[in-house]
Structure 1
Amino acid sequence: MASLTARRGRRRGPGPASGRPPVRQAEGERIQLAGILTGASAWDSGNMVRCMIVDDCPEFLRAARSLLEGQGMTVVGVASNGLQALRQARQFRPDVALVDIDLGGECGLELAGRLRRETGPSPPLVVLVSIHAEDDYAGMIEGSVAVGFLAKTDLSGNAIRALLAEWGSP
């Protein structure tokens, strides 16, 4: 699916890249590690995902909030510029921030980095969104701190959860 893309290779979990041995389990066996059951993602639909939406279009903010809340996500804030986004991220501590790549006079890619660097010890994961095709921004998305990209036309609670699940546990 071209418009739903998670960045691979950056998970931090058991396995060779982390320096920790992989966890082995029999098929169907559930193992509890640090309060998380394997086989189920912390991002599954049964768990509330706290989300912030950053976009310079008020109509999109309203529509996206309504859509995501109707699909079981908790929208803790909406922001129309970088300053509002940083303030709300510090105040509301969302799990994920949906950031429009083109924020009018601001760069959403730059804001993504600032959200990760400047919002405390547990910054939100960032999913970039755009009305444009992913191919238009492919190199910039790959070089960003974002966990993935969603076309605005593909935005849904399940699409966000799928990206977050592919990324790993919070």
Structure 2
Amino acid sequence: MITIVMGVSGSGKSTIGGDLAAHLGLPFIDGDSLHPQANRDKMAAGIPLDDADRQPWLEAIVAVMDEHRANHVSLVLACSALKRRYRNFLRSGHDDVRFVYLHASRELLAERLGHRPGHFFNPALLDSQLATLEEPSRSEAVWIETTDAPAAIVEKVIRAGCAEARRATRPVPGG
């Protein structure tokens, strides 16, 4: 099982994803760590990424997901997954991927981004991300409002059944 915590920058993907993974005893990967340096530089300069910029990043994420699948290890991953086609690419025909969409108001997102020192994402890009976002349907992802404390959000995700991977790491056959 791979749970992808998605949403625009500032929605809480890294915080909720990390807390969820810790709660479930699963590995956590922050998709931001897989961005090529050119993407980081572009975002830091306030230049929005386009589909061509995002493709190598999405490929790197799929490679990490495939590695965990090959080792029979469940995973929690943070990734903006802004467009439906990105989410379809991340699924890559697998039925073990679940999306949790962290939804927040523009005002809350802007406030959070203003208090996030040291991150390469330029807060001036928020409106660009919101314009790019194709919100998932409720059949595609579980929607979670992010106005609660992180622990309460993690509990909502678990109650919603998005974390059925709880300690689902299986031993490698023959190993």
Q: After TM superposition, is the score higher than 0.5? A: no
Interval containing the TM-score (normalised by the shorter chain):
0.3 to 0.5
Q: Scaled by the length of structure 1, what TM-score is found?
A: 0.38
| Structure number having the greater strand percentage | 1
Higher relative contact order (CA 8 A, sep 6+): 2
Normalised by the size of structure 2, how large is the TM-score? 0.38
